[in-house]
Structure 1
Amino acid sequence: MDFNFSDDQLQLREAVRKWVEKAYSFERRKGIVASGGFDRAVWQELAELGLMGLTVPEAQGGMGMGAIEAMVVLEELGQGLVLEPYAQALLAGDVLAQHADAALQQAWLAPLTSGEALIVLASQERGARYQLEPVGTQAEQSAGTYHISGQKSLVPAGDLADAWIVPALLQGETALFLVEKGASGVQADGYLTQDGSRAAEMRFAKTPAKLITTNGSAALQQAAYIGIASVCASGVGVMDKTLLLTADYLNQRKQFGVVIANFQALRHRMADMKMQLELGRSMSYYAWLKLDEPEAVERKLALSRAKYQLGQSMRFVGQQAVQLHGGIGVTDEYIGSHYFKTLTQLEISWGDSLHHLGIISDNMQETAGVAA
């Protein structure tokens, strides 16, 4: 199997990397955090790079690229600690392109791919403990119109979105609905998360909605898989940069007149961090390659295996980086502390390590770990 990236994929990586280096400085990021954790101008810049419709089929106005291209983009955005929820564009594009009718696609895919519209998935509910179902939000149909009622938590940039994709129970089965900004009965309370990005608590009270699909369980699960894989790729990018920052610091900091990078114990720690990064990278590749796995159980296990390893790797790399930096590693003025906070938040996004370890253990065969 060829694990080398194609020329097009390398060019895409380089384009995103250059944008991050030139346009998304630490100072700009701090300004975005101070102003609320989301910047429409950045969202538009990402669209101008052609990233918003990256995996949307060309026939529907997108770039028609695949999972590996999305992974490459997310790694580079992770290196830059980009706050804007780019993964939500991938989720929304997949849901609309694969499940919405022609009218909804025509109304929303073009604004999505051009960066004019921010469409986010509002799926998490209080007390769900990372479970996608059962869904507490209810939907009803009256006179040909759907209305939904319920609450959603930790919706990425939810109070600033132009539309929300909302799972709700319709006649006892999970369905997906699209709710437009300005619809009656919507309340969104926004706030900053620990890594400086923006989220919101959402409430829907008999809110008019448009049906995307009645096969909501399958569509929601696939969206979750994209979310998990996105966290994995972003985590690899964040760990990559965290390792570089730590190595640079060790090569500059002196103790007893010697740069501390020469101390063998610290070099061993750096080697352990590098090992965890590469374990995480290989499992991220595994996750993205398995996104289109036709066998449902294998796809589910692949994503959980990847997220578990990434959770372990991100926690280790983040904590070791803080230890090796000393006090400066947790100061808000130093960018390294923001990499640590992002790694910590990614570890609990789309299911923490214990959640995914539970999925893996529940699906182990009786012969697991037994030599033939």
Structure 2
Amino acid sequence: MDFDFTEDQESLRDAVRRWVDKGFPFERRHALAKAGGGTREVWGELADLGLTGLTVSPDHGGMGFGPVEAMVVGEELGRGLVNAPYAHGALLAPALLADAPAALQTAWLPKIADGSALVIPALQERSARYRVGHVTTRAAHSGDGWRLTGAKSVVPAGDEADAFIVAARTAGDDHSTEGIGLFLVERGADGLAVRGYPTHDGARAADLTLSATPAQMIGADGAAALSFASDLGIAAVAAEGVGLMDRFTAITVEYMNTRKQFGVPIASFQALRHRIADVKMALELGRSMSYYATLKLGEPEPQRRRALSQAKVQLGQSMRTVGQQCVQLHGGIGVTDEYVGSHYFKRLTMLEMAFGDTLHHLGEVSDRMQDTAGVFA
């Protein structure tokens, strides 16, 4: 199998890396985090690069690229600790709007592509424990439209978004995959309350409360779309995690080569060299599974879901190993807020829990491997 990137993909990588190196140094990222984690300014700069329209169809002003290009961008944004809800706003939202009525696509996809609108999926609910089919928010007919009642938790950049894609139940019980619809709710809609707050990694999130809030239906059968969006999110997390781990490892090696003890660099100590070798192995395992996740996005749902859960298990283990070992190899400075390494560690910790933590996906893999007696087919 050929894992070489095309010339266009390498050019895309170079363009994003140049912007990160020049326009998003750690000092800027740290200042944004200390100011509350606002991202709209950064979102606009990503739009200037064309990245917010990366996967949007050219018919709506986008670039029409696919999962591999999204992975390339995700790696570079992760390497630079870029503080923006890129996966949710530029990847998941266009994917969920792809099957929306033509009027909704025309109204929102061009705005996503040019960066003038930030549309964020609001899918997570309390007590769901990462289950896609657990939806308690209810949708009811109201004249020619719909009204939603319920709550959504930890919506990335929720208090900065212009609209939300909300999963709500039109029928069935709270745990059924049947009767789940997808709806678009505009910011400022009647009955919508948004409570924003900073997150542990220096970004922002919000909790939404909907009380008979007017909404436009995207699709009546949303379970399959939610399943794909979850897997797309895992692939995005994997790519970002690889970029984070790659850069954190390089920072740690540089530190080991400059920090001296007993008159010599600590990189000369055999025990520490063995530990950084373990870190590098964990990084490369994560990288290979990130590629695997991206390439499996086009598979039928049963194969895709198992593959993405496998990838998330390995990425979770790799991110934990790299984060913890690199912090320990730094010593006390590794956990100080002023040092860049602590911010990589915090972001890796957050990503380990995004779209299902390691234990959740280990269970998902287990449930899907019964016919293979523990051997992956």
The TM-score normalised by the length of structure 1 is 0.97
TM-aligned CA deviation for residue 132 of structure 1: 1.4
Q: Does the residue aligned with 2:370 lie in a helix, a strand or coil?
A: coil
Look up the match of 1:317.
Answer: 322
- Structure 1 CA distance for aligned equivalents of residues 28 and 20 of structure 2: 11
- Structure 1 CA distance for aligned equivalents of residues 233 and 313 of structure 2: 14
Q: Does the residue aligned with 1:346 lie in a helix, a strand or coil?
A: helix
Q: 1:73 is matched by which residue type in structure 2?
A: V
Look up the match of 2:105.
Answer: 105
TM-aligned CA deviation for residue 365 of structure 1: 2.2
TM-aligned CA deviation for residue 30 of structure 1: 1.5
- Structure 2 CA distance for aligned equivalents of residues 367 and 180 of structure 1: 46
Counterpart selection for 2:304 from 267, 281, 299: 299
The answer on 1:289 being equivalent to 2:292 is no
Look up the match of 1:38.
Answer: 38
Counterpart selection for 2:206 from 200, 203, 216: 200
Relative to structure 1, the CA distance from residue 188 to residue 365 in structure 2 (aligned partners, 3 Å threshold; closer, same or farther) is: same
- Structure 1 CA distance for aligned equivalents of residues 134 and 259 of structure 2: 53
Q: Does the residue aligned with 2:235 lie in a helix, a strand or coil?
A: helix
- Structure 2 CA distance for aligned equivalents of residues 8 and 245 of structure 1: 28
TM-aligned CA deviation for residue 37 of structure 1: 0.9
Q: How does 1:234-253 map onto structure 2 within 5 Å?
A: 234-253=240-259
The answer on 1:216 being equivalent to 2:219 is no
Counterpart selection for 1:230 from 231, 236, 242: 236
Q: Does the residue aligned with 1:188 lie in a helix, a strand or coil?
A: strand
TM-aligned CA deviation for residue 33 of structure 1: 1.1
Look up the match of 1:122.
Answer: 122
Q: How does 1:145-160 map onto structure 2 within 5 Å?
A: 145-160=145-160
The TM-score normalised by the length of structure 2 is 0.96
The Cα offsets for residues 75-134 of structure 1, whole Å up to 9 and x where unpaired, read as 0000111111100121111111x2111100111011111101010010000011111113
Q: Does the residue aligned with 1:33 lie in a helix, a strand or coil?
A: helix
Look up the match of 2:96.
Answer: 95
- Structure 2 CA distance for aligned equivalents of residues 142 and 333 of structure 1: 52
Q: Does the residue aligned with 2:169 lie in a helix, a strand or coil?
A: strand
- Structure 1 CA distance for aligned equivalents of residues 375 and 225 of structure 2: 36
Look up the match of 2:339.
Answer: 334
Look up the match of 1:178.
Answer: 184
Q: 1:303 is matched by which residue type in structure 2?
A: L
- Structure 1 CA distance for aligned equivalents of residues 193 and 85 of structure 2: 20
Larger displacement relative to structure 2 (276-285 or 21-30): 21-30
The answer on 1:257 being equivalent to 2:263 is yes
TM-aligned CA deviation for residue 370 of structure 1: 6.9
The answer on 1:190 being equivalent to 2:191 is no
TM-aligned CA deviation for residue 366 of structure 1: 4.6
- Structure 1 CA distance for aligned equivalents of residues 347 and 143 of structure 2: 46
Q: Which stretches in structure 2 are left out of the alignment for 5+ residues?
A: 173-178
After TM superposition, what 4+ stretches of structure 1 lie above 3 angstroms from structure 2?
none
Look up the match of 1:357.
Answer: 362
- Structure 1 CA distance for aligned equivalents of residues 229 and 371 of structure 2: 31
Q: Which stretches in structure 1 are left out of the alignment for 5+ residues?
A: none
Q: 2:10 is matched by which residue type in structure 1?
A: L
- Structure 2 CA distance for aligned equivalents of residues 338 and 208 of structure 1: 39
- Structure 2 CA distance for aligned equivalents of residues 105 and 272 of structure 1: 47
- Structure 2 CA distance for aligned equivalents of residues 221 and 267 of structure 1: 42
- Structure 1 CA distance for aligned equivalents of residues 315 and 77 of structure 2: 17
Look up the match of 2:277.
Answer: 271
Q: Does the residue aligned with 2:253 lie in a helix, a strand or coil?
A: helix
Q: Does the residue aligned with 1:99 lie in a helix, a strand or coil?
A: coil
Say whether the 8 Å CA contact 2:39–2:157 is kept in structure 1. Answer: no
The Cα offsets for residues 317-351 of structure 1, whole Å up to 9 and x where unpaired, read as 00001110000000001000000111111101110
Say whether the 8 Å CA contact 2:61–2:114 is kept in structure 1. Answer: no
- What fraction of aligned residue pairs are identical, expressed as a percent? 60
| Aligned alpha-carbon RMSD (Å) | 1.1
Number of equivalenced pairs? 369
TM-aligned CA deviation for residue 59 of structure 1: 2.1
Q: 2:323 is matched by which residue type in structure 1?
A: G
- Structure 2 CA distance for aligned equivalents of residues 150 and 21 of structure 1: 42
Q: 1:192 is matched by which residue type in structure 2?
A: P
- Structure 1 CA distance for aligned equivalents of residues 305 and 375 of structure 2: 23
TM-aligned CA deviation for residue 143 of structure 1: 1.2
The answer on 1:59 being equivalent to 2:59 is yes
Q: Does the residue aligned with 1:120 lie in a helix, a strand or coil?
A: strand
